[in-house]
């Protein structure tokens, strides 16, 4: 079966719809919030979408300069696959494409949800045991600082 962006988006939205049906309140609430954010999110290209839920008048991140971010990574079913604080040089390919694209649109102190189709994340290979091939990922992110590598 050939994977297409439309198929992946449909599968992603179906996964969130399934999470809405769960009896677990925390998963149900997660799905409600993320579906609402997805519908209002800004398209950044290549299917990547970003919803800012906290804005700031801090400085913007700059390409090829170090940034410090805080993140929580989710599968569409609400399961957390990773979280932490991380520093990297923006736009140098040190992270998934979605991050290199999204963080240049954020100011220090801003918080956002990223909806990352597989072609901007781990693609056909997936990552580890949790992230399957062609898996859309969700990240809640904060740009914490600049110039910190």
CB-count burial class (<10 Å; 0-12, 13-18, 19+) for 24 = exposed
Under 8 Å between Cβ of 146 and 67: yes
Whichever domain contains 65, its CATH number is 3.10.50.40
For the chain, how many structural domains are there in total? 1
Note the residue count of the chain: 149
Q: What residues make up the domain containing 62?
A: 5-146
pTM of the model: 0.90
Tens of pLDDT, residues 53-101? 999 999 999 999 999 999 999 999 899 999 999 999 999 999 999 999 9
């Amino acid at each position: 079966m050939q994977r297409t962006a439309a198929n992946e988006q449909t599968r992603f939205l179906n996964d969130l719809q399934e999470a809405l049906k769960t009896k677990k309140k925390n998963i149900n609430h997660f799905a409600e919030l993320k579906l609402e954010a997805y519908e209002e999110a800004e398209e950044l290209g290549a299917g990547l979408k970003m919803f800012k839920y906290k804005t700031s008048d801090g400085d913007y991140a700059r390409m090829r300069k170090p940034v410090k971010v805080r993140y929580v990574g989710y599968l569409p079913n609400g399961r957390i696959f990773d979280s932490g604080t991380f520093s990297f040089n923006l736009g140098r390919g040190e992270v998934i494409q979605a991050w290199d694209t999204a963080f240049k649109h954020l100011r220090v102190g801003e918080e956002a949800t990223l909806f990352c189709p597989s072609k901007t994340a781990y693609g056909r290979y997936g990552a580890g045991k949790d992230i399957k091939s062609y898996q859309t990922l969700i990240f809640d992110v904060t740009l914490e600082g600049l110039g910190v590598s």
